[in-house]
């Protein structure tokens, strides 16, 4: 865990670099996704599924790159393979970073955990790993549909909460 903190601290202490921004331009209302997948074949399938679901997708090649991109943009969806840039899934730096985010920011991000050790839509594993949804790699072909359903369920679940928070903050 101390290595995780080192990478996170290193990223947050760096000076601004426009090259770290994931997108130059985003159309209004367009949803964005960050893809953290080490396997090239799964990465291309996942990217295709996310693009079919109408997400603008950016890929990260390492945990450090993913953290840099999240530093300058709050993604609507983050898809993380449990083995992304780590030897032990319990020490995934990207998941650790997301779990430690301020809740006001974290609630805006829908996190999908991809792996082979759990079932798709396993709520207990999702809760345990502080993610919104789990997706087994065998279901990558249905990722777009699974993500759309998960995001819709998440929006419905938090609808009243977000509406109340907006009223309290004076935002309409």
67-77 tens-digit pLDDT: 999 988 899 99
Q: Give helix 2-13 / helix 63-72 axis angle, nearest 10°.
A: 40
Q: Average pLDDT of each block of 10 consecutive residues along the chain (172 residues)?
A: 59 55 65 95 95 94 93 92 94 95 90 96 95 96 94 88 81 56
Residues 6 or more apart from 24 whose CB is under 8 A from it? none
Q: In whole angstroms, give the CA distance from residue 69 to residue 23.
A: 9
- Report the sign of the C-alpha dihedral through residues 138, 59, 144, 41, in that order: negative
Whether this prediction's pTM lies above 0.85 is answered by no
Q: Where are the chain's structural domains?
A: 2-169
Second-level CATH architecture of 2-169: 3-Layer(aba) Sandwich (3.40)
- The conformation of residue 140, written as its DSSP 8-state character, comes to G
């Amino acid at each position: 865990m101390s290595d995780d903190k080192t990478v996170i601290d290193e990223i947050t202490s760096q000076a601004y670099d426009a090259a770290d921004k994931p997108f130059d331009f985003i159309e209004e209302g367009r949803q964005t996704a960050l893809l953290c997948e080490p396997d090239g074949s799964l990465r291309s399938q996942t990217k295709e599924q996310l693009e079919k679901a109408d997400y603008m997708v950016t890929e990260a090649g390492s945990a450090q790159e993913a953290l840099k991109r999240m530093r300058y943009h709050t993604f609507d969806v983050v898809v993380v393979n449990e083995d992304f840039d780590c030897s032990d899934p319990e020490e995934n730096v990207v998941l650790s970073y997301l779990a430690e985010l301020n809740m006001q920011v974290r609630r805006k991000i829908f996190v999908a955990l991809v792996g082979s050790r759990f079932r798709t839509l396993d709520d207990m594993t999702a809760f345990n790993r502080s993610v919104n949804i789990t997706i087994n790699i065998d279901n990558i072909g249905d990722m777009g549909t699974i993500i759309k359903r998960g995001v819709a369920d998440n929006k419905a679940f938090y609808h009243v909460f977000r509406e109340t928070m907006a009223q309290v903050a004076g935002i309409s």
